[in-house]
Structure 1
Amino acid sequence: MKAAIQPRAWHRRWINQAVRAEINLCFTCGSCAVECPVNRATRGLDPRRLVWMANLGLMEDLLRLPDLWQCLECRRCTHVCPMTVKPSVLIAFLRWEAVREGVVSGELFEKRRHLQARFYRERATVVRNMLDETTQRIAGKQREKTASASLSWKSFTQFHGHDTHLASCFACGECSNACPVCVDRSVLDPLVLVRSALLGYGGEAMMSPAPWVCLQCQSCSRACSHRVQGHLVALALREEAETQGCVDAEFLKAWPEKDKVLFQDHAHRVAEAHRLLLKEPSSSQGL
């Protein structure tokens, strides 16, 4: 009986030589699949599956997958891997190969960029409207008192025993450059979030969309040369909003559900763009 999958060892060797993604170290623990924000919402992007398809040398199949274009480039899959496998590096390489080999049109890069920026703006708009609704729902006097109160920067120096190193920030902007959501700084700029907390504007920051649309990918924290943990500052702002009574249980339950729908809508738009720009395979095309 012919095997359903025909591994191609030379393709695997070629991938390992072309990109340092350490795919041969993967032992399928599933950390990347669990932590990927796209996969959590849509079940449509499993970095572990892509790594093992690469391990089997299934290049033709990989290059035609819409999954490659669902990735938000947050690199969380790479950050959490205990074996230093880099699925995000592999995905970036496969995208370029798909265009180079003529599998998809190069227009897909620009289309995906526009769709991703639209997705981030939609998330910010939805959470902003939800925060406004929450403001009206919560008792006015208590809410106004909380919103107008300045929060000391010391409130955000730790998050559940972990130092945020907030006071070490000197506004170099490396966190902004690393953040995948910061393609539109009106949606989220980690530097603005950190400086707001440091300068006593935490009350305003925690009621803005920024801490709620943070993907918790830790890219900002890993990029910081002074070890400021921007992702923990965002979590601390969320928790402080709950502690201060600025958000209620209804908001905390509804936002993840609406966010999941937004992720799914974005995935559908990307898949449709991929379908339209995917080229028909030709007999002369090969790797």
Structure 2
Amino acid sequence: MQNEALLRMGSFIAILMVMMVWEACLPNRVSPVAKTKRWLSNFFLVFCGALVARLIVPTGLAVVALYADRHQIGLLNLVTLPQWLIVLIAMVLLDCLIYWQHRVFHRVPILWRLHRVHHADPHLDASSGLRFHPLEIALSLLIKALAIVVLGVPAEAILLFEILLNASSIFNHSNVKLPDWLEWPLRKLIVTQAMHRIHHSQVVTETDSNFGFSLSVWDKLFGTYTHQAAAGDDDLILGLKEYNSEKTNTGILTVLLMPFRHTPKN
């Protein structure tokens, strides 16, 4: 796993560049906020999140997985299955975990204060998939580390899953629109842009649906799937009503301090 950091960084940059070029050539929507202001806020959070991750798990989650494997800790270390199947099962279980983590961050008020930094973005593009408060990143890392130990996730699985999770988040937040002939069949397997835009609707019942990041099956299985927004995809209003001005949803200090400030009145 010596090249883990290079693999993750290389795949991250590649998918980000692909989606940003796609957005530039075929944008789906026009941002209500200046691109430079949004990008400054969003990419600053990426930097802070990466710094926090390095401080919490300096050597990466793969090392936690190697520790669990070396000491034969976790459920998957108790079964005899082909390695490829264990890796696949682990990745599916981790994706399910992220789905439930996402739901919990919407339900628990103190966690929602952190997660609303992501939802306060009034526009969606590739940078939105990276807009998470550093404290949310820290909690997510600790949850994944615990899951790795409990499940006995192989190092290969966590590496592939982290690459897939980042790629999925960038992909499904991107400001593009798939043609219907591709959108609807693809949505049966993975979370598409149109499906995830519903989750960023200002309508609360729509915000509290479509929690999946990679696989679309979890929302359908656990009853949180919304097929289409009431206003339709083209007229869907994104963001949070409480943060409907540029002053309240962009700016480095604004996004960093958002969880600790009173919610603005509509």
Q: TM-score if structure 2 supplies the norm length? A: 0.26
Of structures 1 and 2, the larger Rg is shown by: 1
Q: TM-score if structure 1 supplies the norm length? A: 0.25
